[in-house]
Amino acid sequence: MALPHSVIRNEFVYAYIHRRESIWKRRSTLIAERDERGREINRRHGYIETDGTVSSSIRSHVDLPYAEEMRQSEAKFKALYDRLSIDEANANRNAGMTVYEYLLLEEIQDKEAFLQASQDTGYYDWIGLKAQAEIDHIKHNSFSDIQRLIDMKKSHFGYAGKRCREFFGIKPWDVGAQAAIIAFAGEFDKRLRAYAGNLRAV
């Protein structure tokens, strides 16, 4: 049975952050392996720069056997890289990710604060934490710039809502999910402006 759209589980937040860290490490490893493979191919085919360095990028589209080997290598690593994104999305779906959990975690400014909060055993004000982390990230700007950045975040949140709809396959007639996206966006914007106002009052 699916959880309500507005549920945010502490244990899910904890697992999500650790899963994302693991995925990013694997992505970094794949990129390093792809680059090393590209350099190995270039070295073997004699594509060495005048300063003695060897690039990981393709150096000729005319040398067809070489270009095809580079293309196949790139395709192999791209498939592995894309697979990680698919596996991550499937893991989140299999764990019953909710609309609020998606919107909360799509972009976070203070990973350590989220990890610490996720170990709380009771209810946690997650939207408040997300808003405070955002304000802490921009608080060294002038107040007018902070207001401008908050307006930008409100605009950008529309894209987050779009990605959320795509992730869950939310249709226009899925009233509950649509309402949850709007409610999260409204509460997040309200918190951002309240915390920004507190900066001015200090």
Structure confidence by residue, pLDDT tens digits, 24-81: 999 999 999 999 999 999 999 999 999 999 999 999 999 999 999 999 999 999 999 9
Mean of the per-residue pLDDT values of the chain: 91
Reported confidence tier of residue 144, pLDDT bands at 50, 70, 90: confident
Reported confidence tier of residue 135, pLDDT bands at 50, 70, 90: confident
> Mind listing the pLDDT tens digit for each residue in 75-105?
999 999 999 999 999 999 999 999 999 999 9
pLDDT at 138: 80
Reported confidence tier of residue 148, pLDDT bands at 50, 70, 90: confident
Mean pLDDT of 140-160: 82
- What is the distance, to the nearest Å, from the Cα of residue 13 to the centroid of all Cα atoms in its chain? 14
pLDDT higher than 50, residue 202: no
> Mind listing the pLDDT tens digit for each residue in 170-189?
999 999 999 999 999 999 99
pLDDT at 200: 63
C-beta atoms surrounding 169 within 10 Å: 8
| Contacts by residues 8-11 (CB-CB < 8 Å, ≥ 24 positions apart) | 8/98, 8/100, 8/101, 8/104, 8/124, 8/126, 9/98, 9/101, 10/117, 10/118, 10/119, 10/120, 10/121, 10/124, 11/118
Reported confidence tier of residue 164, pLDDT bands at 50, 70, 90: very high
The single residue listed with the structure tokens 């791209």 is: 78
